[in-house]
Amino acid sequence: MRGGGCYHFAMLSSRVTEEELRLFSDRIARSLAERPVQMEVEAHRERAAALLRDLGEATHYEILGIDPTASALEVHDGFERTARLVHPRQADRLGLAGREMALQVLFERVTEAYLTLSSLDSRKRYDRELGPRIWVRRDPAPRISRAEEGDRFYDRARALASSGQIHSAVELLREAVRMTPKPEYLAFLGMLEAKNPHWLGMAERNLERAIELGAKSAGLAEALEEVRRKLARQAAGERLEADDDSGDVQVI
């Protein structure tokens, strides 16, 4: 984190610029400093988890919690309300210390929704793209077990990884592992983490745990050995480049 509550974002969407994210992040950080969120912690966690679970599927209106007929003021209020809940500085409150990337992903998604709906022209284009779906209301998801919640995070992460959205997939997989550390979750998470030199230590631990728990993924032992070779190269001072291509990761 840089001064003034500004976070470095991974820039997962080409529709939001880094400067826009910085400005919105700073503004919401100041708002939170002046007026902390009053929502009960458990309800706050459930709301953030629901947004993560629906990442990539919810419409901009659903993300902001507003109707398609919302006025400009309601769009603004929806952004303020949701952005305050998912700003990265909420990580400690939500039990996500060290995993702020999950909130960064959500904050960028909320900002994209606001920028789209706050402009009359872009909102009209977006509504045309949605077509009839704009009026389809999704029923609130019933409360489910942690195991079922983990499965949902895992399934969504597989879809994101298949479309090349590695950072988002990793964050959802980490949430799946937190819900229930199944060997297939750990294996897939470790394989994706191995693609980023900053995550090699975590990749090694998750691949080791996956093997210990009996994961059946093909090439798991070889992937672990490759991670260890990369760690040795890093220890020797070699600079490794990130690999954002998910094409060679088996979606299991």
User: Could you list the pLDDT tens digit for every one of the 252 residues in the chain?
Assistant: 333 444 444 444 447 788 888 999 999 999 999 989 888 888 888 888 888 888 777 889 999 999 888 888 899 999 999 999 999 999 889 888 777 888 888 999 999 999 999 988 999 999 988 887 666 655 544 556 778 778 878 888 888 888 887 877 887 888 788 778 899 999 999 999 999 998 999 999 999 999 999 988 778 999 999 999 999 999 999 888 776 554 444 444
Cα 248 to chain centroid distance, Å, stands at: 22
Check whether domain 146-235 has CATH 1.25.40.10, yes or no: yes
pLDDT of residue 217: 77
* CATH 1.25.40.10 boundaries in the chain: 146-235
pLDDT of residue 186: 94
User: Architecture of domain 3-135 in CATH?
Assistant: Orthogonal Bundle (1.10)
Render the burial of 46-80: b for 16+ CB within 10 Å, e for the rest: ebbbebbbbbeebbbbbbbbbebebeeeebbebbb
pLDDT of residue 228: 94
| Token pair 């750990």 in the structure block, residue | 186
* CATH 1.10.287.110 boundaries in the chain: 3-135
